[in-house]
Amino acid sequence: MAFQTLCKQRYLGEGEAVPFLLDGHEVLVIWPDGGQPRAFTGLCPHERQSLVNNSQFNGRTLTCTVHGWVFDGRNGEGLRPEGCALDEYPLRLTDDGQVEIDLQAQV
């Protein structure tokens, strides 16, 4: 595990998806309504297009606007179509208000 600082917790908001570029990796932190923030790679599993530049989040589902694939914001699993998922990175919130991510590991 090699956690590094991603941002301060106050930059994240429930019901929002926040994009980051860290060490050359596109990352999307999704905090669904009523859930917890989780970090996913910012690449669509369909044709590896950027979700940082081509997605919409409505608080529950993330839609890739390139071809319309839809993902569950709670866990990154594909809803339309099923059988796919966003790759996830370990994410943790620290007691001093930081958000940390491990880009070398996959959940």
Residues forming contacts to ligand FES in the complex (CB under 6 A) are 44, 46-47, 49, 64, 66-69
Minimum Å distance from CB 80 to ligand FES?
10
- Taking the least distance from each CB to ligand FES, the nearer of 68 and 95 is 68
Return the number of the residue (6 or 44) whose C-beta is nearest ligand FES: 44
Q: What is the closest distance, in whole angstroms, from the C-beta atom of residue 68 to ligand FES in the complex?
A: 6
CA gap 40, 44 in Å, rounded: 10
Our CB check for ligand FES shows the closer of 7 and 84 to be 84
Q: What is the DSSP letter of 35?
A: S
Q: Per the structure block, which two tokens stand in for 39?
A: 């970090």
Surface-to-core class of residue 97, CB atoms within 10 Å of its CB (0-12 exposed, 13-18 middle, 19+ buried): exposed
**Minimal distance in Å, beta carbon 55 to ligand FES?**
8
Query: Could you tell me if 69 and 81 are in contact, meaning their C-beta atoms sit under 8 angstroms apart?
Result: yes
